[in-house]
Amino acid sequence: MREITFAEAIREALRLEMRRDSRVFLIGEDIGVYGGAFGVTIGLLEEFGTERVRDTPISEAAITGTCIGAAITGMRPVMEIQFMDFIALAMEQLVLQAAKMRFMLGGKVSVPMVLRTPAGSGTGAAAQHSESLEAWFVHIPGLKVVMPSTPHDAKGLLLASMRDNNPVIFVEHKLLYKTKGSVPEDDYEVPLGVAEVKRPGRDVTIVATSIMIPRALSAATKLAAEGIEVEVVDPRTLKPLDTDTISASVSKTGRVLIVHEACKTGGIGGELAAQIAESDALFYLKAPIKRLAGLDIPIPYNRTLERHAVPQEENIVEAVRDLMAAG
């Protein structure tokens, strides 16, 4: 099977759906002529024109409000916020409007929109351009939250998100854009709410998200040389969350490490730990549930400090060793 980059997989999904459904349009800052802050939408303006690839003023609230209005009147907008940090400027529209309209109007309207946004550290973009804020939106009823880790999943999950009748927050880690993987050329969906075991193992389960999946897989390869077989589980969507797959893996291995980039306090790791503790997997645990996450600090500009602010491969290896020693 051919290999393409994560960014190319997203672009391919957008192109496929825009060709298939004339109601789909793209909107955001610099997505047209410039092709997006990370080049994901390059070439789409030339194919679909300015009516369907719309550059906007710098106003995240206006972009989001436009999408909500378009969605409830029959369109299927896909918006881009250049950096996830700036999603804070759209919170009223997302949380009080998009997430609640279907409920408050008794199901008479739906809000089929996708908000795409690059997140995460590793590019030296400092504290205001490097955050991972997915846990904010997992907390909001009415929103779905997607975090792909591979080009294959990025394409399939985005197609599924664009065809969903609910607002979807689609989180793309910046460091994944240039990663390559096998991606079918045809139209396919990866269903929302279905996790995947990326690597089978018997000793420890790692539940990781986004950029932490490739780091966990690399750590698992190193640990295998020590005789420790790690199972790596990727939720792929944080809401809806596939608790069955996660619990089944933890029940099998008896040990679990949860890894994410966002700050540990209030991060998605706490919810994952609670879900495991409330499931039958609790009775199979040989050691306490362990979380490995970002430090509770803004992301530093300095590259060395930036690297130490979030989990790296060596931190995952060390945390798994600690789990094995604990029981």
Q: Are 94 and 48 in contact (CB under 8 A)?
A: no
Tokens of 39: 């080049």
What whole-number distance in Å separates Cα of residue 67 and Cα of residue 72? 9
If phi > 0 it is left, if psi is from -120 to 50 it is alpha, else beta; for residue 175 that is alpha
What residues have CB less than 8 Å from 172, skipping those under 6 apart? 6, 10, 40, 116, 117, 118, 119, 148, 154
3 state SS of 216: helix
Q: Are 126 and 305 in contact (CB under 8 A)?
A: no
If phi > 0 it is left, if psi is from -120 to 50 it is alpha, else beta; for residue 126 that is left
Strand partners, 105: none
Q: Which of 129, 152, 173, 260 is catalytic?
A: 129
- Look up 308 and say whether it is catalytic: no
What torsion, rounded to 10 degrees, do the Cα atoms 183, 189, 192, 196 define? Answer: -40
What residues have CB less than 8 Å from 136, skipping those under 6 apart? none
What whole-number distance in Å separates Cα of residue 169 and Cα of residue 219? 29
> Active-site positions?
129
